[in-house]
Amino acid sequence: LDINEMKPLFVAKPLLPELSDLTPLLQRIWTSQIVTNQGPLHNELEAELATLFDVPVSVLFNNGTSALQCALLALDLPQGSEVITTPLTFAATAHAITASGLTPVFADIDEDTLTLDPEAVARAITSKTRAVIGVHVYGTICDHARLAPLCREYDLYLAYDAAHAFASSLDGQPVAQLGDMNIFSLHATKLFNTFEGGLITSSNEEFNRSLRLVRNFGIVNEERVEMVGINGKMSELNAAIGLLNLKIFEQERSIRTKLRAQYDAAIDGLAGITKQVAQSNVQQSEQYYMVRVNKDAFGFSRDDVYEALKKHQIMSRRYFWPICTDFESYRGMPIITRHKTSVVERVKNDVLCLPFHSGVEDHHVATIAQVFHDLKAKARVKLAV
Ligand SMILES: Cc1ncc(COP(=O)(O)O)c(C=O)c1O
Protein backbone atom coordinates (compact mmCIF):
# COMPACT_ATOMS: atom_id res chain seq x y z
CA LEU A 1 0.00 0.00 0.00
CA ASP A 2 1.07 3.56 -0.71
CA ILE A 3 1.85 5.27 2.60
CA ASN A 4 -0.48 8.14 1.73
CA GLU A 5 -3.36 5.73 1.29
CA MET A 6 -2.79 4.07 4.63
CA LYS A 7 -5.13 5.00 7.43
CA PRO A 8 -3.54 5.46 10.83
CA LEU A 9 -3.35 2.21 12.78
CA PHE A 10 -3.94 2.78 16.47
CA VAL A 11 -2.81 0.70 19.44
CA ALA A 12 -6.39 -0.30 20.24
CA LYS A 13 -9.65 -0.68 18.39
CA PRO A 14 -12.96 -1.03 20.22
CA LEU A 15 -14.51 -4.48 20.03
CA LEU A 16 -18.03 -3.89 18.72
CA PRO A 17 -20.92 -6.34 18.59
CA GLU A 18 -23.14 -6.59 15.50
CA LEU A 19 -25.36 -3.52 15.47
CA SER A 20 -28.42 -5.67 14.72
CA ASP A 21 -27.81 -7.69 17.91
CA LEU A 22 -28.16 -4.51 19.93
CA THR A 23 -31.71 -3.76 18.76
CA PRO A 24 -33.50 -6.41 20.89
CA LEU A 25 -31.64 -5.23 23.97
CA LEU A 26 -32.54 -1.61 23.26
CA GLN A 27 -36.13 -2.75 22.93
CA ARG A 28 -35.90 -4.29 26.39
CA ILE A 29 -34.61 -1.01 27.83
CA TRP A 30 -37.39 0.97 26.18
CA THR A 31 -39.96 -1.54 27.46
CA SER A 32 -38.65 -1.62 31.02
CA GLN A 33 -38.13 2.16 31.06
CA ILE A 34 -35.22 1.46 33.38
CA VAL A 35 -32.10 3.11 32.03
CA THR A 36 -29.75 2.99 35.02
CA ASN A 37 -29.59 2.29 38.81
CA GLN A 38 -29.03 -1.49 38.80
CA GLY A 39 -31.40 -2.25 35.93
CA PRO A 40 -32.21 -5.73 34.58
CA LEU A 41 -29.44 -5.81 31.93
CA HIS A 42 -26.91 -4.52 34.46
CA ASN A 43 -27.89 -7.26 36.91
CA GLU A 44 -27.73 -9.88 34.16
CA LEU A 45 -24.22 -8.79 33.24
CA GLU A 46 -23.08 -8.85 36.88
CA ALA A 47 -24.44 -12.38 37.21
CA GLU A 48 -22.78 -13.57 34.00
CA LEU A 49 -19.44 -12.16 35.10
CA ALA A 50 -19.79 -13.77 38.54
CA THR A 51 -20.35 -17.12 36.82
CA LEU A 52 -17.53 -16.60 34.32
CA PHE A 53 -15.00 -15.93 37.09
CA ASP A 54 -16.63 -18.11 39.75
CA VAL A 55 -16.73 -15.31 42.33
CA PRO A 56 -19.40 -14.33 44.88
CA VAL A 57 -18.65 -10.62 44.39
CA SER A 58 -19.10 -9.07 40.93
CA VAL A 59 -19.94 -5.36 41.04
CA LEU A 60 -20.16 -3.20 37.92
CA PHE A 61 -19.12 0.46 37.72
CA ASN A 62 -19.35 3.26 35.17
CA ASN A 63 -15.59 3.17 34.60
CA GLY A 64 -12.41 1.60 35.92
CA THR A 65 -11.35 4.74 37.76
CA SER A 66 -14.58 4.97 39.76
CA ALA A 67 -14.20 1.24 40.48
CA LEU A 68 -10.69 1.85 41.87
CA GLN A 69 -11.95 4.73 43.95
CA CYS A 70 -14.90 2.74 45.24
CA ALA A 71 -12.62 -0.16 46.14
CA LEU A 72 -10.66 2.19 48.38
CA LEU A 73 -13.74 3.96 49.79
CA ALA A 74 -15.27 0.59 50.62
CA LEU A 75 -12.24 -0.24 52.78
CA ASP A 76 -12.97 2.90 54.85
CA LEU A 77 -9.31 3.47 55.70
CA PRO A 78 -8.20 6.34 57.95
CA GLN A 79 -7.47 9.51 55.93
CA GLY A 80 -3.78 9.76 55.09
CA SER A 81 -3.22 6.00 55.14
CA GLU A 82 -0.54 4.88 52.74
CA VAL A 83 -1.25 2.67 49.76
CA ILE A 84 1.74 1.13 48.02
CA THR A 85 1.60 0.88 44.26
CA THR A 86 3.73 0.90 41.12
CA PRO A 87 4.65 4.06 39.22
CA LEU A 88 4.48 2.12 35.92
CA THR A 89 0.75 2.35 35.43
CA PHE A 90 -1.99 4.52 34.01
CA ALA A 91 -2.65 7.75 35.92
CA ALA A 92 -5.94 6.38 37.29
CA THR A 93 -4.28 3.96 39.73
CA ALA A 94 -2.41 6.66 41.66
CA HIS A 95 -5.11 9.29 41.26
CA ALA A 96 -7.79 7.00 42.72
CA ILE A 97 -5.65 6.67 45.85
CA THR A 98 -5.15 10.44 46.14
CA ALA A 99 -8.79 11.25 45.37
CA SER A 100 -9.83 8.91 48.20
CA GLY A 101 -7.86 10.95 50.73
CA LEU A 102 -5.06 8.40 50.88
CA THR A 103 -1.35 8.71 50.09
CA PRO A 104 0.21 6.77 47.23
CA VAL A 105 3.65 5.32 47.97
CA PHE A 106 5.55 4.19 44.91
CA ALA A 107 7.60 0.99 44.96
CA ASP A 108 9.93 -0.25 42.23
CA ILE A 109 9.18 -2.93 39.66
CA ASP A 110 10.75 -6.26 38.86
CA GLU A 111 13.22 -6.18 35.97
CA ASP A 112 11.55 -9.07 34.08
CA THR A 113 7.84 -8.78 34.76
CA LEU A 114 7.71 -4.97 35.19
CA THR A 115 5.14 -5.55 37.97
CA LEU A 116 5.64 -4.58 41.65
CA ASP A 117 8.85 -5.96 43.14
CA PRO A 118 7.73 -7.63 46.41
CA GLU A 119 11.04 -6.76 48.04
CA ALA A 120 10.54 -3.08 47.21
CA VAL A 121 7.02 -3.33 48.61
CA ALA A 122 8.40 -4.80 51.85
CA ARG A 123 10.80 -1.87 52.15
CA ALA A 124 8.00 0.64 51.51
CA ILE A 125 5.79 -0.59 54.37
CA THR A 126 5.42 1.87 57.29
CA SER A 127 3.10 2.07 60.30
CA LYS A 128 0.67 4.02 58.08
CA THR A 129 0.49 1.44 55.28
CA ARG A 130 -2.95 -0.13 54.92
CA ALA A 131 -3.07 -1.51 51.39
CA VAL A 132 -1.09 -2.55 48.33
CA ILE A 133 -2.38 -2.16 44.79
CA GLY A 134 -0.48 -4.29 42.30
CA VAL A 135 -1.04 -3.67 38.61
CA HIS A 136 -1.01 -6.57 36.13
CA VAL A 137 0.59 -4.20 33.67
CA TYR A 138 0.37 -5.22 29.95
CA GLY A 139 -1.42 -8.34 31.17
CA THR A 140 1.67 -9.64 32.97
CA ILE A 141 0.45 -11.01 36.29
CA CYS A 142 1.93 -9.72 39.57
CA ASP A 143 4.02 -11.95 41.83
CA HIS A 144 0.98 -13.02 43.85
CA ALA A 145 2.87 -15.91 45.46
CA ARG A 146 5.07 -13.38 47.27
CA LEU A 147 2.76 -10.38 47.60
CA ALA A 148 -0.07 -12.33 49.27
CA PRO A 149 1.95 -13.67 52.24
CA LEU A 150 3.67 -10.29 52.64
CA CYS A 151 0.33 -8.50 52.88
CA ARG A 152 -0.99 -11.15 55.28
CA GLU A 153 2.07 -10.72 57.51
CA TYR A 154 1.56 -6.95 57.78
CA ASP A 155 -2.24 -7.10 57.80
CA LEU A 156 -2.58 -5.11 54.57
CA TYR A 157 -5.33 -5.29 51.99
CA LEU A 158 -4.06 -6.58 48.67
CA ALA A 159 -5.91 -5.25 45.65
CA TYR A 160 -5.06 -5.67 42.01
CA ASP A 161 -5.63 -3.19 39.24
CA ALA A 162 -6.52 -5.81 36.66
CA ALA A 163 -7.46 -3.35 33.91
CA HIS A 164 -5.12 -5.23 31.54
CA ALA A 165 -5.95 -8.73 32.70
CA PHE A 166 -9.58 -9.45 31.88
CA ALA A 167 -10.35 -13.17 31.80
CA SER A 168 -6.75 -13.96 32.59
CA SER A 169 -5.74 -16.78 34.89
CA LEU A 170 -2.77 -17.73 37.05
CA ASP A 171 -2.10 -21.45 37.55
CA GLY A 172 -5.61 -22.06 36.28
CA GLN A 173 -7.19 -19.70 38.82
CA PRO A 174 -9.03 -16.65 37.44
CA VAL A 175 -7.15 -13.44 38.33
CA ALA A 176 -10.60 -12.16 39.30
CA GLN A 177 -10.17 -14.28 42.46
CA LEU A 178 -6.60 -13.32 43.40
CA GLY A 179 -6.69 -10.13 45.46
CA ASP A 180 -9.01 -9.00 48.22
CA MET A 181 -10.40 -6.93 45.38
CA ASN A 182 -9.67 -7.11 41.67
CA ILE A 183 -10.48 -3.99 39.70
CA PHE A 184 -11.10 -4.10 35.96
CA SER A 185 -11.59 -1.35 33.43
CA LEU A 186 -14.15 -2.10 30.75
CA HIS A 187 -13.13 0.91 28.69
CA ALA A 188 -13.38 0.86 24.88
CA THR A 189 -9.65 0.10 24.64
CA LYS A 190 -9.93 -3.07 26.72
CA LEU A 191 -10.26 -6.65 25.44
CA PHE A 192 -13.75 -6.80 26.93
CA ASN A 193 -15.47 -3.42 26.88
CA THR A 194 -18.80 -1.81 27.68
CA PHE A 195 -17.69 1.46 25.94
CA GLU A 196 -17.09 2.87 29.43
CA GLY A 197 -17.23 0.59 32.42
CA GLY A 198 -15.56 -0.99 35.39
CA LEU A 199 -15.83 -4.13 37.48
CA ILE A 200 -14.71 -5.27 40.91
CA THR A 201 -14.55 -8.94 41.74
CA SER A 202 -13.69 -10.62 45.00
CA SER A 203 -13.79 -14.03 46.61
CA ASN A 204 -14.69 -12.32 49.87
CA GLU A 205 -18.46 -12.00 50.20
CA GLU A 206 -17.99 -9.31 52.88
CA PHE A 207 -17.12 -6.66 50.30
CA ASN A 208 -20.43 -7.01 48.47
CA ARG A 209 -22.39 -4.68 50.71
CA SER A 210 -19.83 -1.87 51.06
CA LEU A 211 -18.96 -1.86 47.34
CA ARG A 212 -22.62 -1.52 46.40
CA LEU A 213 -23.07 1.22 49.00
CA VAL A 214 -20.13 3.38 47.88
CA ARG A 215 -21.14 2.92 44.23
CA ASN A 216 -24.47 4.60 45.09
CA PHE A 217 -23.41 7.63 47.21
CA GLY A 218 -23.31 5.51 50.37
CA ILE A 219 -27.12 5.46 50.40
CA VAL A 220 -28.68 2.58 52.36
CA ASN A 221 -32.32 3.64 51.91
CA GLU A 222 -34.49 6.72 51.64
CA GLU A 223 -33.70 7.73 55.18
CA ARG A 224 -30.12 6.68 55.66
CA VAL A 225 -26.72 7.50 54.11
CA GLU A 226 -24.11 5.37 55.80
CA MET A 227 -20.79 6.31 54.26
CA VAL A 228 -19.03 8.51 51.72
CA GLY A 229 -19.71 7.23 48.24
CA ILE A 230 -19.81 8.44 44.66
CA ASN A 231 -21.94 7.89 41.59
CA GLY A 232 -20.27 4.77 40.22
CA LYS A 233 -23.31 3.22 38.54
CA MET A 234 -23.28 1.63 35.10
CA SER A 235 -26.15 2.45 32.73
CA GLU A 236 -28.31 -0.10 30.92
CA LEU A 237 -26.87 0.95 27.54
CA ASN A 238 -23.37 0.06 28.69
CA ALA A 239 -24.59 -3.19 30.21
CA ALA A 240 -26.26 -4.09 26.88
CA ILE A 241 -22.93 -3.67 25.07
CA GLY A 242 -21.31 -5.80 27.77
CA LEU A 243 -23.81 -8.65 27.40
CA LEU A 244 -23.09 -8.77 23.66
CA ASN A 245 -19.31 -8.34 23.89
CA LEU A 246 -19.15 -11.11 26.47
CA LYS A 247 -20.06 -13.49 23.64
CA ILE A 248 -17.32 -12.32 21.28
CA PHE A 249 -14.30 -11.28 23.34
CA GLU A 250 -12.78 -14.79 23.32
CA GLN A 251 -12.76 -14.73 19.53
CA GLU A 252 -10.95 -11.38 19.64
CA ARG A 253 -8.49 -12.79 22.18
CA SER A 254 -7.61 -15.76 19.97
CA ILE A 255 -6.98 -13.44 17.01
CA ARG A 256 -4.59 -11.48 19.22
CA THR A 257 -2.83 -14.63 20.38
CA LYS A 258 -1.99 -15.33 16.74
CA LEU A 259 -0.94 -11.72 16.23
CA ARG A 260 1.39 -12.00 19.22
CA ALA A 261 3.12 -14.96 17.55
CA GLN A 262 3.43 -12.95 14.32
CA TYR A 263 4.99 -9.99 16.12
CA ASP A 264 7.27 -12.30 18.09
CA ALA A 265 8.54 -13.80 14.85
CA ALA A 266 8.90 -10.37 13.23
CA ILE A 267 11.24 -9.00 15.92
CA ASP A 268 12.93 -12.27 16.80
CA GLY A 269 16.70 -12.11 17.07
CA LEU A 270 16.94 -8.31 16.95
CA ALA A 271 19.63 -7.42 19.49
CA GLY A 272 18.35 -4.76 21.86
CA ILE A 273 14.67 -5.61 21.43
CA THR A 274 13.14 -7.54 24.32
CA LYS A 275 9.73 -9.16 24.18
CA GLN A 276 7.25 -9.06 27.00
CA VAL A 277 7.97 -11.84 29.49
CA ALA A 278 6.05 -15.04 28.74
CA GLN A 279 4.53 -16.43 31.95
CA SER A 280 4.05 -20.16 31.41
CA ASN A 281 1.48 -20.43 34.23
CA VAL A 282 -0.64 -17.55 32.92
CA GLN A 283 -3.41 -17.39 30.38
CA GLN A 284 -2.78 -13.96 28.87
CA SER A 285 -5.58 -11.47 28.45
CA GLU A 286 -3.88 -10.30 25.24
CA GLN A 287 -4.49 -6.69 26.17
CA TYR A 288 -1.16 -5.32 24.95
CA TYR A 289 1.85 -6.25 22.88
CA MET A 290 4.75 -4.52 24.59
CA VAL A 291 8.39 -4.52 23.52
CA ARG A 292 11.40 -2.97 25.21
CA VAL A 293 13.92 -1.08 23.13
CA ASN A 294 17.36 -0.88 24.68
CA LYS A 295 19.01 2.08 22.97
CA ASP A 296 22.60 0.94 23.49
CA ALA A 297 22.01 -2.59 22.27
CA PHE A 298 19.58 -1.74 19.46
CA GLY A 299 21.35 1.34 18.17
CA PHE A 300 18.22 3.50 18.21
CA SER A 301 16.03 4.62 21.07
CA ARG A 302 12.44 3.70 21.83
CA ASP A 303 11.46 7.19 20.71
CA ASP A 304 13.28 6.67 17.41
CA VAL A 305 11.23 3.52 16.81
CA TYR A 306 8.05 5.35 17.80
CA GLU A 307 8.78 8.16 15.29
CA ALA A 308 9.80 5.74 12.53
CA LEU A 309 6.55 3.78 12.94
CA LYS A 310 4.56 7.03 12.92
CA LYS A 311 5.96 7.87 9.48
CA HIS A 312 4.14 4.74 8.29
CA GLN A 313 0.92 5.74 10.06
CA ILE A 314 1.57 3.13 12.74
CA MET A 315 0.62 4.81 16.01
CA SER A 316 2.43 2.91 18.74
CA ARG A 317 2.16 4.13 22.34
CA ARG A 318 4.87 4.64 24.93
CA TYR A 319 2.77 3.19 27.76
CA PHE A 320 3.35 3.99 30.63
CA TRP A 321 5.74 6.83 30.09
CA PRO A 322 5.66 9.32 31.76
CA ILE A 323 5.46 7.27 34.96
CA CYS A 324 3.41 8.53 37.91
CA THR A 325 6.39 10.13 39.67
CA ASP A 326 6.91 12.26 36.54
CA PHE A 327 3.41 13.76 36.88
CA GLU A 328 3.17 17.21 38.41
CA SER A 329 1.02 15.75 41.21
CA TYR A 330 3.66 13.26 42.37
CA ARG A 331 6.95 14.75 41.15
CA GLY A 332 9.72 14.42 43.70
CA MET A 333 8.14 11.50 45.49
CA PRO A 334 10.62 8.67 46.02
CA ILE A 335 10.43 5.29 44.33
CA ILE A 336 11.28 2.75 47.02
CA THR A 337 13.78 0.27 45.58
CA ARG A 338 16.34 -2.32 46.60
CA HIS A 339 18.66 -1.19 43.83
CA LYS A 340 20.98 1.83 43.59
CA THR A 341 18.68 3.38 41.03
CA SER A 342 15.15 2.20 40.37
CA VAL A 343 14.45 -0.27 37.59
CA VAL A 344 11.40 1.73 36.53
CA GLU A 345 13.37 4.93 35.82
CA ARG A 346 15.34 2.99 33.22
CA VAL A 347 12.52 0.86 31.85
CA LYS A 348 10.17 3.82 31.31
CA ASN A 349 12.32 4.97 28.39
CA ASP A 350 12.31 1.52 26.76
CA VAL A 351 8.66 0.45 26.69
CA LEU A 352 6.58 0.59 23.53
CA CYS A 353 3.16 -0.91 22.80
CA LEU A 354 2.38 -1.94 19.23
CA PRO A 355 -1.12 -1.95 17.69
CA PHE A 356 -2.75 -5.09 19.04
CA HIS A 357 -6.25 -6.00 17.85
CA SER A 358 -8.15 -7.75 15.08
CA GLY A 359 -7.77 -4.71 12.80
CA VAL A 360 -4.04 -5.34 12.46
CA GLU A 361 -3.46 -7.02 9.09
CA ASP A 362 -0.53 -8.96 7.69
CA HIS A 363 0.69 -5.95 5.73
CA HIS A 364 0.77 -3.90 8.94
CA VAL A 365 2.90 -6.56 10.63
CA ALA A 366 5.18 -6.60 7.59
CA THR A 367 5.55 -2.80 7.71
CA ILE A 368 6.30 -2.85 11.43
CA ALA A 369 8.85 -5.64 10.96
CA GLN A 370 10.46 -3.64 8.16
CA VAL A 371 10.76 -0.54 10.36
CA PHE A 372 12.54 -2.51 13.11
CA HIS A 373 14.86 -4.28 10.66
CA ASP A 374 15.65 -1.09 8.70
CA LEU A 375 16.59 0.70 11.92
CA LYS A 376 18.80 -2.23 12.92
CA ALA A 377 20.52 -2.15 9.53
CA LYS A 378 21.11 1.60 9.90
CA ALA A 379 22.47 1.07 13.40
CA ARG A 380 24.97 -1.46 12.04
CA VAL A 381 26.15 1.06 9.45
CA LYS A 382 26.45 3.71 12.19
CA LEU A 383 28.61 1.31 14.20
CA ALA A 384 30.80 0.42 11.22
CA VAL A 385 31.75 4.02 10.37
C1 LIG B 1 -3.93 0.13 34.56
C2 LIG B 1 -5.18 0.93 34.41
N3 LIG B 1 -5.88 1.26 35.51
C4 LIG B 1 -7.01 1.97 35.43
C5 LIG B 1 -7.51 2.42 34.22
C6 LIG B 1 -8.71 3.30 34.22
O7 LIG B 1 -9.83 2.73 33.68
P8 LIG B 1 -10.97 3.64 33.03
O9 LIG B 1 -10.42 4.28 31.80
O10 LIG B 1 -12.05 2.63 32.73
O11 LIG B 1 -11.41 4.63 34.04
C12 LIG B 1 -6.81 2.08 33.03
C13 LIG B 1 -7.21 2.46 31.68
O14 LIG B 1 -8.06 3.00 31.22
C15 LIG B 1 -5.61 1.34 33.14
O16 LIG B 1 -4.90 1.05 32.05
Tell me the per-residue pLDDT of 25-69, one tens digit each, with 9 for 90 and over. Answer: 999 999 999 999 999 999 999 999 999 999 999 999 999 999 999
Q: What is the pLDDT of residue 384?
A: 79
Mean pLDDT of the chain: 97
**How far is 162 from 179, CA to CA, in rounded Å?**
10
Pocket test for ligand 1, best of 11, 63, 65 (most atoms within 8 A of CB): 65
CB distance 182 to ligand 1 below 6 Å:
no
Angle between helix 236-245 and helix 40-53 axes, rounded to 10 deg: 40
pLDDT for 191 beyond 90: yes
Pocket test for ligand 1, best of 90, 116, 184 (most atoms within 8 A of CB): 90
**How far is 295 from 360, CA to CA, in rounded Å?**
26
- Could you give the residue ranges of the DSSP H alpha helices within 177-313? 207-215, 236-245, 249-267, 295-298, 302-311
Predicted TM-score (pTM) of the model is 0.97
CB distance 93 to ligand 1 below 6 Å:
yes
Mean pLDDT value of segment 280-304: 98
pLDDT for 4 beyond 60: no
Q: What is the pLDDT of residue 2?
A: 60
Ligand 1, atom nearest to 96 Cα = 4
Model confidence at 6, pLDDT cuts 50, 70, 90, reads confident
Query: Comparing C-alpha atoms, which of 138, 142, 89 is closest to residue 115?
Result: 142
Amino acid (one-letter) located at 282: V
Cβ within 8 Å of residue 132, ≥6 positions away: 83, 84, 85, 116, 121, 147, 150, 151, 156, 157, 158, 159
Give φ, ψ of 384 to 5 degrees: -70, -30
Q: What is the pLDDT of residue 1?
A: 54
96 CA distance to ligand 1 middle (Å): 10
Mean pLDDT value of segment 70-93: 98
Give φ, ψ of 225 to 5 degrees: -115, 115
221 CA distance to ligand 1 middle (Å): 31
Cα 32 to Cα 2, 22, 220, 236, 302, distances in angstroms: 51, 16, 24, 10, 52
Cβ atoms of 91 and 122 closer than 8 Å: no
Ligand 1, atom nearest to 135 Cα = 1
Mean pLDDT value of segment 269-283: 97
137 CA distance to ligand 1 middle (Å): 11
List, edge to edge, every strand of the sheet that includes 351-354. 273-275, 289-293, 351-354
66 CA distance to ligand 1 middle (Å): 10
Q: What is the pLDDT of residue 5?
A: 65
CB distance 65 to ligand 1 below 6 Å:
yes
Give the tens place of pLDDT for each residue, 354-385. Answer: 999 999 999 999 999 999 999 999 999 987 77
Q: How many CB atoms lie within 10 A of CB 88?
A: 27
pLDDT for 211 beyond 80: yes
Cβ atoms of 236 and 62 closer than 8 Å: no
Give the tens place of pLDDT for each residue, 116-126. Answer: 999 999 999 99
Mean pLDDT value of segment 238-257: 98
Q: Tell me, rounded to whole angstroms, the distance of Cα 105 from its chain centroid.
A: 19
Q: For residue 82, list its beta bridge partners.
A: 103, 129
Model confidence at 3, pLDDT cuts 50, 70, 90, reads low
- Could you give the residue ranges of the DSSP H alpha helices within 100-229? 118-124, 144-153, 207-215
222 CA distance to ligand 1 middle (Å): 33
Q: How many CB atoms lie within 10 A of CB 100?
A: 23
189 CA distance to ligand 1 middle (Å): 9
Mean pLDDT value of segment 187-194: 98
Q: What is the pLDDT of residue 248?
A: 98
Q: What is the pLDDT of residue 77?
A: 98
Give the tens place of pLDDT for each residue, 126-141. Answer: 999 999 999 999 999 9
Q: What is the pLDDT of residue 142?
A: 98
Give the tens place of pLDDT for each residue, 138-172. Answer: 999 999 999 999 999 999 999 999 999 999 999 99
- Strand, helix or coil for residue 134: strand
Q: How many CB atoms lie within 10 A of CB 168?
A: 24
Q: What is the pLDDT of residue 368?
A: 98
68 CA distance to ligand 1 middle (Å): 9
List, edge to edge, every strand of the sheet that includes 169-170. 173-174, 169-170, 282-283
Mean pLDDT value of segment 225-241: 98
Q: Tell me, rounded to whole angstroms, the distance of Cα 151 from its chain centroid.
A: 22
**How far is 166 from 49, CA to CA, in rounded Å?**
11
Q: For residue 129, list its beta bridge partners.
A: 82
pLDDT for 208 beyond 70: yes
